[in-house]
Structure 1
Amino acid sequence: MATLLYRLGRFSFRNRGRVAAVWLLLLALLGVAAALFLGPSSDKFSMPGTESQRALDSLVREFPQASGAVGVIVVAAPEGGKLDPAVVAPVVEEAAAVPGVVAAIDPFQARALSPDGRYALVQVQFKDKIDDITDVQRKAYLKAGASATGIQVEHGGEVLRAAPEVGGSEAIGVLIAAIVLIVTFGSLVAAGMTLLNALVGVGVGMAGLFALSGVFELTSVTPVLALMLGLAVGIDYSLFITSRYRQFLADGLDREEAAGRATGTAGSAVVFAGATVVIALAGLFVAGIPFLTVMGLAAAGTVAVAVLVALTLLPAILAYAGPRVLPRKQRDGRAVAKEGFGYTWGRLVSRLRVPILLIGIVGLGVLALPVQDLRLALPDAGTAAPGTPERAAYDLTSKGFGEGFNARLIAVVSAEDAAAVNTAAGQAAALIQQVPGVLAVAPPQPNATGTTALLAIIPKEGPTAASTEAAVHAIRGKVATIAGAEIAVTGATAVGIDVSDKLGEAMPVYLLLVVGLSVLLLMLVFRSILVPLKAALGFLLTIGSTFGITVAIFQEGRLAGLFGVEVPGPLVSFLPILLIGILFGLAMDYEVFLVSRMREDFVHGDTARQATINGMGHNARVVTAAALIMTSVFGGFVFMEDPIIKSMGFALALGVLIDAFVVRMTLVPAVMAMLGRAAWWLPKVLDRVLPDFDVEGERLNHHLATSRPPVPERVG
């Protein structure tokens, strides 16, 4: 592989104009396609095969008038007062006049009043589903009740869900990344070139994703995740190849040869690192959840583009940059080569390997302790930022009616005839009312044919409360005993519980698949058994400590204010499995970049201990910069208000810091020093069977040595 990539690097360097033109043309074409075929994003978390999804599908068939988006307007009288029907009437009338609304229900007719008469709920039924609600409709809905005086009016409900805006907060991460690059390279040209290369890759990847959004349904989080990962790995991959290019220039190679060798050696590591990330992300399909599969494939696509851009466009840009890719002192020949901190750190870790391993493993184990209290749920209005309309409506509903009114459930009762439905609905209502955690059950509401009826259920506590989750499971257990009808429980709360349960079942299978495939891939890269196993075990320490700290902050509320977490609560359901996939891929990035240089020097004759020190000496600075860049990019998303993206950005940034600095740059060299030559042991049977991809470039060096005529000695 190294030889093939060497030729590719030299080809791109020589044909820089054509290569750059192809990528720019591709970017332009995909940009036009994205503009023409851009489809709407979705906030719908569908779960095929679950009880809640089957009930929702039944609602669409049997209650089409109730299958659209729903809004809830909360009305409150002043302290000590009661609501007057005449005062509330304008709210109902203006809500009914909102475009797309089929009904706004008067709370006095529906008896949707609090016991003291101070609070009321106006249910607003839209014709269109949530994905089809426009911003114009949302703005009109928020204005409903503006003419009412003497009362408080707050707007809530699923109709207010909108895609998170990607604004300026993530630009902070890019700015920090630029500063890190400038410090690392000592050259504005090298830093700008690396960023430009990454931005082109992100542009191509995102344009392609948006061009396909008209065909595949994307959740609102999917483009943000793809942008987050594409930008981070794009900068890192370009950084590694550019750093190796500069090393070859310092060794006296001409620029084209340096570009070829950098692409052949560091490029091989980039290919395998990118392949590991793609495997981890594409493997999300094992969860059997469509929106999660699409998220994984979209992010994997941007990573694959980042690899291609680094291998082809980067050598072309290096050709344009000329000698300016080096610091001014090196260009003038005034720079004196000296050992960096990486060599000192490598020697220190090798010498103190036992205490460092003990401290590192125990420390990360302690940080992982809060993970035993991990709770999962889908975000609700109670986790929205204070001051937003949905949060204000949630709080006012909780104050007037109790938190359970924000977690309403629906039992869908279906049978062959109306009599069977009425009997089953009556039995179900009686059984459900006995369930601990249930506050009230409304009378059955049949459809026009009487073959389906709805039972509205009000829990005692909020959507993410443990008692509400227990109540859902208890209700399902009780109604399963009723004969003659099919009864299914649904609603946003039930959907969230089903998502969590299904993801919990899929996680062990996913972890086994991803770790197994990646260990096999690393075995091919390093031709070793112990190195891949050590990499996988180190990842378990990373993921455990990352989860532990994230639970402590986002769920338990410790230091929550420091990170802008207004309302601590359960982590979003798909965060753990998504985090495992992304972090495992990124962790293997650093493993490949560090250990490939150790393997390279070991194959070329160094002792195992010296190869470990050399690997740290050559790559510690680059891996440090890469980790800081990736942390900066991910950390920029922590400033977004969306709770899903905030928690995702935080967990990824934290995981990268722990994995890069504690696991890969501290524990890994300590283990390598302890194992010595045994680290590179591979049974002879596997040595014969496994293909050799020549990541360390040994065959490339042999090819270069034999394909060029020797330089004649100068006589005299």
Structure 2
Amino acid sequence: MAELLYRLGRGAAYRAKTVLAAWLAVMVLVGVAYAFGAGTMSSSITIPGTPTQEVSDRLAGELPAASGGTGRIVFSTSDDAALDDPQRQALAEVIAQASELDGVAEVVDPFATEAERAAQAQAIADGRTQIAEGREQIEAARAELEEGRAQLADARAEAEAGQEQLDAARAQAEAAGMAEAMKPELDAQQEALDQGLAQIDAQAAELEAGADELETQAAELETQAAQLEMGAPLLEMAAEIRLVSEDGTTAVATILFDDSLMDVPQETKDAVVELFETEQVEGVDVTFSSEITQGIPAIFGAAEAVGLVVAAIVLVVMLGTLIGAGLPIITALVGVGVAALGALSLSGTIEMISVTPVLGLMLGLAVGIDYALFIVNRHRRQLKAGFDVDESIGLANGTSGNAVVFAGATVIIALLALNVTGIPFLGLMGTVGAASVAVAVLVAVTLTPALLGLIGMRILSGKERANRGPEAQAQERAAQTALTPMKTSSAVVRLVVGVVGLLVVAVPALDLRLNLPDGSSEPRESSQYQAYTTISEKFGEGQNGTLVVVADLPGSPSEEELAQAQLSVAQELFEQDDVVAVAPIGASEDRTVTAFQVVPAEGPTSESTEELVHTLRDLSPEGVEGDLGVAGSASGNIDVSEKLANALPLYLAVVVGLSLIILIIVFRSIFVPVVATLGFILSYFAALGGVVAIYQWGWLSTLFGVESPGPVLSFLPTILVGVLFGLAMDYMLFLGSGMREAYAHGAPARLAVVQGFHAGRSVVTAAAIIMISVFGGFVFSHSAMIRPIGFALAFGVLVDAFVVRMLLIPALMHLAGDKAWWLPRWLDKLLPDVDVEGAKLERSHPHVELDEASAAPTR
């Protein structure tokens, strides 16, 4: 590899304009690809197979209306007075216009909804009054019915008595032999009596028919009463699901998109925002939830530019010339330009969250500057020692460039290993980050030599050019010879202070809680923060993290059975701790699946909401098949965080194992890889401790712009493992290889530690400061996702470079002495010789002393 890079460096320097043209062509190609291939990205994170995603997929099939993405638009009066009728009417008109936008299924009018709720409440009140009156009328009718029955009974009794008298008269007439004479009169009486009985029977039948009708009316009334009494508790349980605040100053319109939130085009969101900002209603402020306004974070802003300026200052101080300081920045910008545009060009065909390309930008910019710096620094040292420009470029690319390739490979492998977590979005982040680092490496070993060839001797200051040659090399050797090993007592103190300090910093990591950011994490001046806080203040925190609960009903339930089941499930949900409101939101066509909206007591990132989600999933209400399903953005974020937390130990184990293998190959030692890996673990947990203290506990929150401390970004610990591991190995490589080289050249083990440290400390210090500056610039990004990542990486590099690599590792190496380089013979034979420091290349291309004329650049 070193020989190949040597030839590549000399060839790039010789054909510098061709190399520049090639990279320019690549930039044009990725720019065209971006123009045609860029698509929509989202801040919404989903993981297939989570309970929330499974419920969401079911809703898409069973209840499509409940499966689309949602967002909220908040209307508040500027003077904190209640919204008046003209304002309400004007807002209703704009809401109606928004419902007609492409990609929008519906915008729920809060005023119409509240009017409907009031009408339902009034209807229940009126219904109860009518039912009470109906019951009174039925009771009165029943009393009249009983009175009629009594009168008919009396009439029948009189008729029956008359019949008995008539029958007695017939008997007397027959006994007196006057039957024939009395027959006409008796028959007439009988006929009159029969007519009377018939009339009584007819009246009785009519009375009983009326009684049946009355009982039917009574049954219908009781059915209506039962339905009313089922609806009344549902309305009462949904009382806190308001769209207009109690004081009337604030209203919330819910927008329902046609597609899931991940698939909603940015153009649709922009159209919604533009409409409401254009059609402003006098005296009304409009803010939007993060689902609507949180699109692609700014790729580069003022804070990031400040970090780049700090990096430039460090380069000027170290390299002594503006042209030398500008070269690493230019090459880094070329690399991140290619990588960022390349990643964004895939966003139209690959589901990509908005933070993915930004992570690639952070890594590409930081390692791009560092990798170019390593090569430029080696080139400058060789020029000052009297090397010819072409010779020095080739050797610098074959030695430091070889180390750059190896260091970049460790970062790439660590990032690609994110795919072993089985989490698609995280694997994609790792892949994009790895691609950015790969581009940075390619730029470093091709474009950097080309630019060095064009610059020639101007990479040195005038004073350095005047003093270059064997004398400068002799001075450097003399400085190395004058070094002495550190004192053992000093090594022990360094070790104790460093380890104790890191453990103390890592303590907050024990309280680590994971979740995804909500609107409260955004900058105070942002629309999404204002919308979130307004909803919390006017409607309650839980309105920002409502849950969707789904229940399966057995068999083929009727409408009445569905209504009864909805009431039963809603009552059980409402009885749970930390539930403030419940409302049915729909059922499938066959009525076997019904869904509810549940409002928790606290916000989406609170511990109580997290516990509530698990509690609801464990419920098995009577009349429901299996456990309840829970979905919604709050539930989804909880599931994502838990799955990421479960994947972290596996990934950490993979990275630690990888660290040991790589370092054993590089340093041909057992001790060095073990302490280097343990140092990485210390710096990792110290970085996590810093993140928890600031972003979860709220320490120094004003300094770092933490508006609302809360759980740590769920995928930050996993990303931090991959990135920090790769960067830690970079510094270990550049410091440790110098120690090994000195030891291999015959220096005593403890002296080799000091010589290797002295040789690499300046470039590693500069590289670390540059990386801290670049990452630190993202700490003040406008994206709630980017800020903690930027801090974690900046703080992690600070701790790892200056405490672990420059304080602990030299102390441990000193205490170990010769044992630090022990390696079993059988393992030594198995390991490949990677020659990271390029010693073989230097032997195969020995430096030839040149006079001043021949040493001048040939171009």
TM over 0.5: yes
CA drift at 1:597: 1.2
SS in 1 for 2:625: coil
What CA distance in whole angstroms lies between the structure 2 residues aligned with 1:531 and 1:481?
62
Which string of whole-angstrom CA distances, capped at 9 and with x for unpartnered residues, describes residues 627-653 of structure 1? 111111111112212111111111111
User: Could you say which residue in structure 2 is the equivalent of 1:211?
Assistant: 345
1:288 aligns with 2:429: no
Q: Secondary structure of 2:812's match?
A: helix
- The alpha-carbon deviation at position 87 of structure 1 amounts to 4.5
> Which sits farther off after the overlay, 336-345 or 217-226?
336-345
Match of 1:398 among 536, 555, 558: 536
Equivalent of residue 177 in structure 1, options 282, 290, 311: 311
Between 26-35 and 105-114, the greater mean CA deviation after superposition? 105-114
Task: Specify the alignment match of 1:125 in structure 2.
Answer: 256
Q: Could you tell me how far 1:389 is from its partner in structure 2?
A: 2.3
Partner of 1:377: 515
Query: 1:552 — aligned with what?
Result: 693
Deviates more, 1:197-206 or 1:469-478: 197-206
Query: CA distance change for structure 1 residues 155 and 693 in 2, over 3 Å: closer, same or farther?
Result: closer
Distance 2:397 2:493 in 1: 38
1:79-478 alignment to 2 at 5 Å?
A: 87-98=87-98, 99-100=101-102, 101-103=104-106, 104-105=108-109, 106-109=112-115, 111=117, 112=242, 116=246, 118=248, 119-130=250-261, 131-134=264-267, 136-143=270-277, 146-147=280-281, 149=283, 154-156=287-289, 158-166=291-299, 167-333=301-467, 337=475, 347-348=485-486, 352-414=490-552, 417-419=556-558, 425-478=566-619
Give the Å deviation of 1:398.
Answer: 1.5
Deviation at 1:115, TM superposition (A): 7.8
SS at 2:619's partner residue?
helix
Partner of 1:654: 795
Closer/same/farther in 2, CA of residues 40 and 157 from structure 1, 3 Å limit: closer
Counterpart AA for 2:304: E
Task: Give the whole-Å Cα distance in 1 for the aligned partners of 2:577 and 2:484.
Answer: 59
The verdict on how the C-alpha distance between 1:173 and 1:457 changes in structure 2, with shifts beyond 3 A counting, is same
Is the aligned partner of 1:11 residue 2:149? Answer: no
TM-aligned CA deviation for residue 231 of structure 1: 0.6
1:584-642 CA-to-partner distances (Å, cap 9, x unmatched) read 11111111111111112222222212221111111111111101111111111122121
Number of the residue aligned with 1:73: 73
Q: Any idea what the Cα deviations from partners look like across 1:408-464, whole Å, max 9, x if unmatched?
A: 000123457455866764553233223222112113522444343210001011111
* Helix, strand or coil at the partner of 2:44: coil
The 1-side partners of 2:483 and 2:779 are apart by 31
Could you list the per-position Cα deviations for residues 515-543 of structure 1 after superposition, in whole angstroms to 9, with x for gaps in the alignment?
Answer: 11122111111111111111110011111
Equivalent residues, number: 707
The Cα shift of 1:73 comes to 3.3
Q: 1:467 to 1:692 in 2, by over 3 A?
A: same
- Aligned partner of 2:649 in structure 1 is 508
Q: Is the 8 A contact 1:413 1:421 kept in 2?
A: no
Counterparts in 2 of 1:279 and 1:331: CA distance versus 1, 3 Å? same
Q: 1:268 to 1:424 in 2, by over 3 A?
A: farther
Residue pair 1:280, 1:581 contacting (<8 A) in 2 also: yes
Q: What is the identity, as a one-letter code, of the residue corresponding to 1:222?
A: T
| Alpha-carbon contact 1:3-1:699 (below 8 Å) kept | no
1:210 shift after superposition: 2.4
Contact kept, 8 Å, 1:424 with 1:484, in 2: the verdict is no
1:626 is matched with 767
Distance in structure 2 (CA, Å) of the matches to 1:348 and 1:424: 78
* Range 658-667 or range 449-458, more displaced: 449-458
Which protein shows a greater Rg?
A: 2
Q: Distance in 2 between matches of 1:76 and 1:204?
A: 44
Distance 2:414 2:631 in 1: 32
Q: Equivalents in 1 of 2:339, 2:488: separation in Å?
A: 41
Instruction: Flag the 1:544–1:594 CA change in 2: closer, same or farther, 3 A.
Output: same
Report the alpha carbon displacement of residue 79 of structure 1 after superposing the two structures with TM.
Answer: 9.1
8 Å CA contact 2:114–2:244 kept in 1: the answer is: no
Partner of residue 168, structure 2? none
Give 1:24 deviation, angstroms: 2.2
AA at the equivalent of 1:265:
T
Per-residue CA deviation, residues 663-696 of structure 1 (Å, 9 max, x unaligned), is: 1111111111111121111111111111111223
Partner AA of 2:823 in structure 1: L
Cα distance in 2 for partners of 1:160, 1:617 equals 51
Cα distance change of structure 1 residues 346 and 132 upon mapping to structure 2, 3 Å threshold: farther
Gaps of 5+ in 1: 710-716
**Is contact 1:279–1:514 with CA below 8 Å preserved after alignment?**
no
Deviations 1:319-362 (A, max 9, x none): 11111111211211279646999999985576610011000000
Distance in 2 (CA, whole Å) between partners of 1:481 and 1:610 is 77
Alpha carbons 1:178, 1:195 under 8 Å: kept: yes
Inter-partner Cα distance in structure 2 for 1:253 and 1:482: 86
Sort the Cα spacing of 1:418 and 1:124 in 2 relative to 1 into closer, same or farther, 3 A: farther
> What is the aligned counterpart of 2:758 among 604, 609, 617?
617
**What is the TM-score with the length of structure 2 in the denominator?**
0.78
2:376 and 2:22 map into 1 onto residues whose CA distance is: 21
- Give the whole-Å Cα distance in 1 for the aligned partners of 2:584 and 2:479: 73
> Residue 572 of structure 1 corresponds to which residue in structure 2?
713
Structure 1 residues 323 and 138: alpha-carbon distance in aligned structure 2, compared to 1, 3 A threshold: same
Cα distance, 1:704 vs structure 2: 3.5
CA distance in structure 2 between the aligned counterparts of 1:452 and 1:145, rounded to whole angstroms:
40
* Conserved? CA contact 1:353–1:671, under 8 Å: yes
The 8 Å contact of residues 432 and 441 in structure 1, kept in 2 or not, is answered as yes
Structure 2 counterpart of 1:92, which letter? A
Aligned twin of 2:63: 63
Amino acid at match of 2:293: L
- Counterpart CA distance in 2 for 1:631 and 1:177 is 9
Shift, 1:19, TM fit: 2.6
When structure 1 is superposed on structure 2, of 125-134 and 396-405 the one drifting more is 125-134
Q: Distance in 2 between matches of 1:227 and 1:460?
A: 39
Aligned to 2:44: 44
The one-letter code sitting in structure 2 at the alignment partner of 1:372 is: L
Task: Specify the alignment match of 1:712 in structure 2.
Answer: none
SS of residue paired to 1:72: strand
C-alpha separation in 2, matches of 1:80 and 1:299: 47
Asked whether 1:595 is paired with 2:731, we answer: no
Shift of 1:85: 6.4
**Cα distance, 1:478–1:451 mapped onto 2, change above 3 Å:** closer
Is the CA contact (8 Å cut-off) linking 2:452 and 2:459 kept in structure 1?
yes
Query: In 2 relative to 1, CA 580–481 (structure 1 residues): closer, same or farther, beyond 3 Å?
Result: farther
Change beyond 3 A, Cα 1:87–1:367: same
CA 1:43 to 1:417, structure 2 compared with 1: closer, same or farther past 3 Å? farther
Equivalent-residue separation in structure 2 for 1:601 and 1:481 (angstroms): 76
Question: What secondary structure, in the 3-state scheme, does the structure 2 residue paired with 1:566 have?
Answer: coil
Contact kept? 2:343, 2:432, Cα under 8 Å: yes
